[in-house]
Amino acid sequence: MHVIVGTTHARVVLSGEIDADLAADLNQATRDVQKSMLAVEIDAHHVTFMDSTGVAFLARLTAVTSGPVRIFNTPPTVRFLLEVTSIGSMLEIVEGSPTDDNFSAPQAASLREPVGDVRLTD
């Protein structure tokens, strides 16, 4: 998981299993997003599993962010959870991929860092 802060929004990149094992990382990511005071984009393309911990994380992001929270590349299993829990009504579910317009090359490159690292980039 990564948090990347651009000029107009923060991007949260999720991958793998989003469950209770990531609770500390998810809490740190929430603090990083809140500190940025920017709109949030969530890229969920590589999420293979999500439980209630992940759903609660998405809900917390909507609570600590003044701007919109958009989720991109939402796998069917995550989309199902969003619909069943009604969290989907709190997020803007966008088809397709986010753009890198507001990120410089070094920040966009950090998307390729190892999974499990939470990073706040200025």
Confidence grade of residue 98 (pLDDT, cut at 50, 70, 90): low
Spatial contact of 47 and 16, defined as CB atoms under 8 Å apart: yes
Q: Give residue-wise pLDDT tens across range 67-83.
A: 889 999 999 999 999 99
Strand partners, 42: 12, 71
Query: So what's the pLDDT on residue 48?
Result: 95
> Which residues, other chains included, contact 84 with Cβ-Cβ below 8 Å and sequence gap of 6+?
none
* Whole-Å CA distances, 10 to 44, 65, 77, 100, 110: 14, 10, 24, 11, 13
Return the beta strands (E) in 1-122 as ranges. Answer: 2-5, 9-18, 39-50, 69-72, 92-94
Q: Give residue-wise pLDDT tens across range 45-70.
A: 999 999 999 999 999 999 999 888 99
Q: What is the pTM of this model?
A: 0.77
